Structure 1
Amino acid sequence: MALPSSTRSAPSKPTAARRNETGVVVAIAATVLAYALTQTMPVPTVNVLRQAFDTSAAATTWAVVSAPLLAGAVLTPVIGRLGDQFGKRRALLTVLAVFLAGSVTALVSWDIGVLIAARAVQGVSLAVMALGYGILRESLPADRVPFALGLTAGVLGGGAGGALVVGGLIVDHLPWRAMFLAGCLLVGTALVLVARYVPESRVRASGRPDLLGAGVLGLGLAALLLALTQAPAWGWTSPGVIALAAAGTVLFGLFIVVERRVAQPLVDPELFTHRPILMANLGALLLGISQYVFYLLVPTLAQLPAAPDAATATGFALSVTGAGLVMLPGSVATLPAGSVAGWMGGRLGPRAVLGLGLAVAVLGAAAMALGHDTAWQVAGLWVVFSIGSGLAMAALPALVSSAAPADRVASANGINVVARTVGGSVGSQLGIAVLASQTLPGTGTAAASAFGLSFWIAAGAAALGVLAAGLATSPAAG
């Protein structure tokens, strides 16, 4: 009787295994989607939140952008390392539980201080990408990993852009609390899927948590990002900004010293010096700069009023929803681009895909710098740029995951995620600075030349990223 039973059950094993693998991919994709939507949806609601809480624009900006950015950048390397040591599934479930608590608090916020605190708690969700990439590499067969990483990166890029449309629709048609209710539902769904489908890590890093290294790195990142965030308000040459930038630089140097001395470092110093990972981190930083210039300028350009003089016309006079719709085609294009990147990476290698993606982004950004006169033109060139950035975003985790040791995958991806986040902060502040420095005479409206210069900055950053990709020799080559 044993033989027939074995014969009947044998064909089902591959099917069951395939179904479990698909469940893992769906769970991680849902988690990344919850992060992308929840972090970006509030961006179009800045003015609505400012009026709802009767507060300043600076306080609202902290609630929408700065608080989650700072918290996420500081916590992600630590959480990635804890995931490597104690299990990525356990760490991801903990992150999602905290994320959900922050989302519920944001939903019921009664003043701007509570909302800022809630958004800071939500910032922990930045770590889901580092943990998710590690889980995909460990849970799937090698031939499915490139596609899964590409799909997840595409969901991240598409979700972030699509969230601007959703946020705009909410601003125009629903109470602002609706976006946080949607966030609660998304995070809760992701939590259930991860608990149901994601297995625990088989590979664990040894040692105890590096609390000293975590503290020094966290302070360094906080100082740097605070300087970038406050520079437009305080002035780029103000004593406060200079002091914070200097403190961040010193702390990063101290962090390297600490990590070389402790037995079990938070981040293995070799992860900074190993060329594929070093260049991947540089590429992530430059990609973040380029992307966030677009994230800032495209909706700004769409919503500015049009001027009768073609030489000084700067905007398309669209609503928040209309601005989101301008970005929608590019956001949608990111998803198939990420999926194609996984297929290409399996054949050409992630380094080649990273270089190709950044090269396409250069073309899109340069073309946008040369001409952005109509909404259709901007939407079309945004698609070109989004395809390139989607390819690059998908290649980054594949490059890092293939180059990092198995017990350091989450840590290495955590640093890469933070590098892109820091780049995003730099890019957004550069865009703000350029728009503020070039305005139409007698008004506070940005001149057309400001947009052209900003898009050239995005193109230049992506071009430097192409060079970094070229220097990221394959792991086999050392």
Structure 2
Amino acid sequence: MTANVQPGGEPTARQANGVPPDSAPDSGPSGTKTLIALSAAVFGYALMQTVVVPALRLLERELDTTPTWSAWILSAFLLSSAVLTPLLGRLGDLYGKRQVMIAVLIAYAVGMVAASASQNIGQLIAARVIQGAALSVVPLSMAILREALPRERLPFAMGLVSGIVGAGAGAGLVIGGLLADYLSWRYLFVLGALLAVISLLLVLRWVRASRHTATGGLDIPGAVLLGLSLVAVLLALTQGPSWGWTSVPVLGLFVLGVLLFAVLMAVERRKSDALIDVSELTDRPMTVTHLAALLFGAASYFFYLGMPLFAQQQPGSGGVGFGASVTMAGLLMLPGMLAIIPASMAVGRIATAYGPRWPLAGGFVLFTVGSVLLASAHAAEWEHLVFYAIVGAGSGLIMGALPKLIADIVPLTRTGTANGINNIARTGGSVIGSQLAAAVMASSVVSRAAGVPDSAFTTLFWLGAVAAVLGVVISPLAVRRAAATTAPNAPQPAEQGLQR
């Protein structure tokens, strides 16, 4: 491909930073409208990621199903997200992010309408599988922003979108509780359909088609192998509590997932248009960035599941719980969720002032502090409000740092794919965290009347602290030595690429 240059023969500033000249912002120098459209799409996905959590017991009753089947309302969404996200990210890199984003939003709206009209648990689970495609709006948005915005605005924009992912998930807990308490569970999905349609209209109007695409074709064998390996591992994680962690089916699924992934690596090494770039996975900063996402996903779910259950539990003889409504349980987490957005938006300024490794490390430090405080004291409502706000601030820094680190590592044409894999890592961590949380609570319950003891919640919060400490330890390894030792106030390269 011949690079366009200025009349004098020198590349433009945007070209020098790895941004193609034909990817100028679609709405003036700031690209504000593009950012608004993408933020709306990401918020719609993030909200619906957790909005069903407060209504799970209601759905179980309304659809006359068992706890095992109702758990698949979440599991089906997570499995579908993990399988479809890297494939859709690669399609965006190959054929245009805007086109794929439009197709995803249409599918998402269809899945929401189908869910709202579901008459049984099977239909609802099938609709949730369709909805799982929406996770890809996050990596697609990161890739679009990297092309559409000037370099100086990119950290702020990526931080904002990352913050919306976390804040939207928290808002979903509150809104889901309100709709479950005062209306019908069907309105959860009606709301999702409306948000999908609004996002679709904004993307159609304000996001310009990408002219900078990757070469090569779609790696179907790689997509199939990756999808099967993810399904095997995630299915083992989701079914472990009910089938038994040492049962033959669960162990067999783990082994199958590992074997399929090994075959995938062998196949991808020989392909020039591989879905999974093996050199990225073996590159230390990229590997650590994915590991940080997995740890963060696991740590977050210890609180997503533990805190609402504590708040809703009626105080027994031990005085554990607040006896709060579903809505109030969500509101207790709201300050933490609101702290995510400003923290994410601060990532760029922190990296410029102190160096690129500090936003991620600082985020895990704050997450650790908040987790330790909650593990030590959580008997009062104000402790939940204040201490989880610290966890939320740490979460915002982590969520804003991850896409920025990826943008510093991979070429522009693999932004969607690489962010998709990072989101898979976080999704996998979410499954691990949710299943560990379920196992801790299930193993500690003596009787249904007694409820979950305080020791179980304390264990969950300490597990969050342990995961965050591991994040602190590995965070410095997510940045190349050359980048980490660059003067803090010196301009950082928009992308370094991998040594291939």
TM-score, length-scaled by structure 1:
0.93
1:139 maps to which of 124, 128, 148? 148
Q: Distance in 2 between matches of 1:364 and 1:474?
A: 29
1:50 to 60, 63, 69: 60
- CA distance in 1 between counterparts of 2:159 and 2:46 reads 15
CA contact (8 A) 2:445 2:452 kept: yes
Aligned to 1:10: none
Identity %: 44
Helix, strand or coil at the partner of 1:391: helix
The equivalences for 1:194-233 within 5 A come to 194-233=203-242
Structure 1 outlier segments of 4+, above 6 Å: none
Indicate the larger mover: 332-341 or 389-398.
Answer: 332-341
Residues 1:92 and 1:317: Cα distance change in structure 2 (over 3 Å):
same
**1:342, CA displacement in angstroms?**
3.3
Q: Which residue, out of 405, 408, 414, partners 1:408?
A: 414
Counterpart position of 1:273: 282
| Contact in 2 for aligned 1:334/1:390 (Cα 8 Å) | yes
Structure 2 contact 27–34 (Cα < 8 Å) conserved: no
- Cα distance in 1 for residues equivalent to 2:72 and 2:422: 24
The one of 455, 461, 465 equivalent to 1:455 is 461
Q: Structure 1 residue 345: deviation in Å?
A: 3.1
1:379 counterpart residue number: 385
Contact 2:26 2:206 in 1 (8 A): no
Q: Distance in 2 between matches of 1:149 and 1:368?
A: 29
In the alignment, the residues of structure 1 paired with residue 149 and residue 269 of structure 2 have an alpha-carbon distance, to the nearest angstrom, of: 33
Q: State whether residues 316 and 450 of structure 2, in contact with CA within 8 Å, keep that contact through their aligned partners in structure 1.
A: no
Residue 15 of structure 1 deviates from its aligned partner by: 11
Match of residue 69 from structure 1: 78
Match of 1:183 in 2: 192
The C-alpha deviation readout for 1:308-347, integer Å capped at 9, x for no partner, is 33xxx32111111110111111111111111122332344
Residue 221 and residue 444 in structure 1: after superposition, are their counterparts in 2 closer, same or farther (change >3 A)? farther
1:185-334 pair list within 5 angstroms? 185-309=194-318, 313-334=319-340
Larger relative helix fraction: 1
How many residue pairs end up in the alignment?
A: 461
Q: Would the aligned equivalents of 2:314 and 2:320 in 1 still touch at CA under 8 Å? A: yes
Letter in 2 for 1:78: L
Q: Structure 2: which amino acid aligns with 1:27? A: A
User: Whole-Å Cα distance in 1 between the matches of residues 364 and 356 of structure 2?
Assistant: 12
Which residue does the alignment assign to 1:437? Answer: 443
Give yes or no for contact 1:44–1:164 (8 Å, CA) kept in 2.
Answer: yes
SS at match of 1:55: coil
Q: Any idea what SS the aligned residue of 2:65 has?
A: coil
* Deviations 1:366-395, CA, capped at 9 Å, x for gaps: 111111111211121111101101110110
- When normalised by structure 2's length, the TM-score is 0.89
Cα distance in structure 2, aligned partners of 1:246 and 1:152: 36
- Of 48, 62, 82 in structure 2, the residue corresponding to residue 38 of structure 1 is 48
Residue 307 and residue 400 in structure 1: after superposition, are their counterparts in 2 closer, same or farther (change >3 A)?
same
Q: CA deviation at 1:444?
A: 5.9
1:448, distance to aligned residue in structure 2 (A)? 1.1
- 2:227 partner amino acid: G
Structure 2 SS opposite 1:17: coil
Amino acid at match of 1:190: S
Provide the rounded CA distance (Å) in 2 between the counterparts of 1:349 and 1:86.
35
CA distance in 1 between counterparts of 2:449 and 2:474 reads 40
- What residue is the counterpart of 2:29 in the other structure? 18
Partner AA of 2:131 in structure 1: Q
User: Partners in 1 of 2:271 and 2:212 — Cα distance?
Assistant: 22
* 1:152 and 2:152 correspond: no
Secondary structure of 1:314's aligned partner: coil
Aligned to 2:343: 337
Q: Give CA deviations for 1:219-278 in whole Å, capped at 9, x if unaligned.
A: 000011111111111111111111111111111111111110222101111110122211
CA distance in 2 between counterparts of 1:432 and 1:68 reads: 18
Distance 1:172 1:339 in 2: 33
Over aligned residue pairs, what C-alpha RMSD do you find?
Answer: 1.7
- Inter-partner Cα distance in structure 2 for 1:349 and 1:106: 46
Residues in 2 aligned to 1:224 and 1:475: alpha-carbon distance in whole angstroms: 34
In 2, the alpha carbon distance for the partners of 1:16 and 1:96 equals: 22
Q: Deviations over 1:343-368 (max 9, x none)?
A: 32344444320110011101111111
Pick closer, same or farther for the CA change 1:320–1:429 going to 2, 3 Å.
same
- Matched position secondary structure for 1:207: coil
Shift of 1:454: 1.4
Partner Cα distance (1:68, 1:351) in 2: 33
| One-letter amino acid of the structure 1 residue matched with residue 265 of structure 2 | I
Q: Distance in 2 between matches of 1:348 and 1:211?
A: 43
Query: Which AA in structure 1 matches 2:472?
Result: V
2:174 aligned with 1:171: no
